[in-house]
Amino acid sequence: MLARRIIPCLDIREGRVVKGVAFKNLRDAGDPVERAQAYMAGGADELCFLDVTASIEDRPLLIDLIRKLSKVLFIPFTVGGGVRSVDDAKALLRAGADKVGVNTAAVTRPALIAELARQFGNQCVVLSIDALGPGDDAKVTTHGGREVTDRKVCDWAREAVELGAGEILLNSVDADGARSGFATALVECVIDAVSVPVIASGGAGSAADFVELFTKTRSHAGLAASIFHDGSTTPNDVKKVLQNKGVEVRL
C-alpha cells in the first residue's frame, strides 16, 4: 500500500532558509543543506524547496544550492519559485532536482505546463496552487498570495492536470503559518477534481493535524514548514503518531 508522505518545505532566499507567516515577515532559519540532511535523517519522505524571491540575480545561487543538495539527499526533492520556461526547469532538473514546481507563470500562461510535461514527463511537473478561501469557492492567487484571480481552484487544478501536471501542491493561504490545521474541505474538493496525487500544504501545527488530514481526506501527502523548523518535532515523530492511528506510513 502506498504510504502517505510527510514533506518538510524550506523557503529559500539568497541561499538561506527563511520563514514568515502568510508569506510575510520573513526571518532567517538556517543553512538549507544542513536543514535538509537533518530532515532526511529524521524521516522526511521528500523535500520541497521554494525560492521565495526568485529574482534573476539569485538564480546561480539557487542552482549551486541544488547541486549541493543533490549530492547529499537520497530522497526526492522538488524545487519551485520563478520557473517561467522549459529552460528554467531544465536548469533545476540538470542540477539535480527531481521535480519542478510551477505557480504564477502557469496561471499567466497555462501552456507552460504542457511544454514542461512534454519535455520532462508528467511526473516531473508539480503545479503549486496558492488557494484563498474555503472549499468550492476557493480562488487561485498568484505572486505568493499577493494577487487574487477570478479563477476557481478546482477548475484550475482540473485544467492543469489535463495539460500534464503530474501532482498538485495545494497551499491554503488562509491556513499558511497559522498552525491551526489543514484546510481539509479544500483538499477534498481538489482531490475530487483530479486523478493525480494531491499534496496538502498550510496549517500544520501538530501531529494531530496530520492525523486529521489523512483520516478526513485522501491526500497523498502533507507538506509543512514551521512545525519542523525548530527541530523539536521530526517527520518520524509525526509518522509514529500516524501509524498508531492506522495510517500507512514509511517508518
Active-site positions read 11, 130
Whose cell is 525548530? That residue is 230
Q: Which residues of the chain form contacts with other proteins (CB under 8 A)?
A: 1-3, 5, 40, 45-46, 70-71, 74-76, 93-96, 98-99, 120-124, 166-167, 195-197, 220-221, 250
Q: Which is nearer to other proteins, 118 or 143 (CB)?
A: 118
Q: Which is nearer to other proteins, 13 or 220 (CB)?
A: 220
Local structure of 148: helix, strand or coil: strand
CB of 9 to other proteins, least distance (A): 16
13 phi/psi in degrees, rounded to 5 = -140, 125
CB of 125 to other proteins, least distance (A): 10
CB of 144 to other proteins, least distance (A): 25
Local structure of 90: helix, strand or coil: helix
For the CA atoms of 211, 214, 217, 223, the dihedral, rounded to the nearest 10 degrees, stands at 100
Q: Which is nearer to other proteins, 15 or 76 (CB)?
A: 76
Q: Which is nearer to other proteins, 195 or 232 (CB)?
A: 195
CB of 70 to other proteins, least distance (A): 6
Q: Which is nearer to other proteins, 12 or 199 (CB)?
A: 199
Please report the beta strands in 15-137, taking only residues with DSSP state E, as ranges in sequence order.
16-21, 24-28, 47-51, 77-80, 99-102, 125-132
CB of 151 to other proteins, least distance (A): 23
Please report the beta strands in 119-166, taking only residues with DSSP state E, as ranges in sequence order.
125-132, 139-142, 147-152
- In b/e form, how buried is each residue of 22-56, taking b as 16+ CB within 10 angstroms? ebeeeeebeebbebbeebbebbbbbbbbbbbbbee
Local structure of 202: helix, strand or coil: coil
Q: Are 84 and 101 in contact (CB under 8 A)?
A: no
